[in-house]
Amino acid sequence: MGTGAKAEGGALIFRDASGEIAGVGGQAAVAGASHEAMSKRYDQLSARYNKMVESWGSLTVEQQWAAKDKLDALDREMKGLWRRMEARQKPAKTGLERAEEEYRRAKAAWDRAGWNPSDAVVRRWHKAQETMRKARQAAGQGN
């Protein structure tokens, strides 16, 4: 896979042993990247992916194996980018929704721990209970 990474124009370019580009970590990977930047990056990746797929038949078996690794890397990056773009379309969770989710997870960890939970599990469970209580009060639901 990638043996070296070099920043070029704000993007990390990963090259394999032969110097071919094995993967790219673009600016859209930054958490604060705009939806337009992420969409543009997705279009760029998609175009590269489609170009490689179109030339598949003219490649030798060795070239196809090398291209497959590159296609897999592109596919993974595109899927990750797509998930981040979709997540931005969803409405933001309220404090109560986040507290309820953490409460369920902490309760599950507490239940899995059995009769001798670790200190971390106990702290997480107590913190989740307190956070849930505060979130309910803030939402006006009482206890």
Residue 73 CB neighbour total at 10 angstroms: 19
Strand partners, 14: 5, 23
Residue 9 CB neighbour total at 10 angstroms: 7
CA atoms within 13 A on the CB side of 123: 3
Same domain, 62 and 99: no
Contact 120, 106 (CB under 8 A): no
pLDDT given for residue 5 in this prediction: 45
Q: Where are the beta strands (DSSP E) in 1-143?
A: 4-8, 11-15, 21-25
Highest mean pLDDT among 2-11, 27-36, 84-93: 84-93
Query: Residue 55: which domain range?
Result: 4-89
Same domain, 128 and 105: yes
Average pLDDT over all residues of the chain: 79
* In the predicted structure, residue 2 carries a pLDDT above the cut 50: no
Selected residue with higher pLDDT from 33 and 135: 135
Same domain, 49 and 76: yes
Is residue 143 one of the residues assigned to a domain?
no
pLDDT tens-place string over residues 101-119: 999 999 999 999 888 889 9
Same domain, 21 and 76: yes
Of 135, 128, 32, 49, the closest CA to residue 88 belongs to: 32
The number of domains in the chain is 2
Q: What stretches of 5-118 show up as alpha helix (H) in DSSP?
A: 35-54, 61-89, 95-113
Return all residues near 107 (Cβ < 8 A) that are at least 6 apart: 125, 128
pLDDT above 70 coverage of the chain, percent: 75
pLDDT tens-place string over residues 61-78: 999 998 899 999 999 999
Structural tokens at position 61: 């078996």
Return all residues near 70 (Cβ < 8 A) that are at least 6 apart: 20, 21, 22, 23, 52
Same domain, 59 and 122: no
pLDDT given for residue 15 in this prediction: 55
* In the predicted structure, residue 60 carries a pLDDT above the cut 80: yes
Structural tokens at position 28: 């859209």
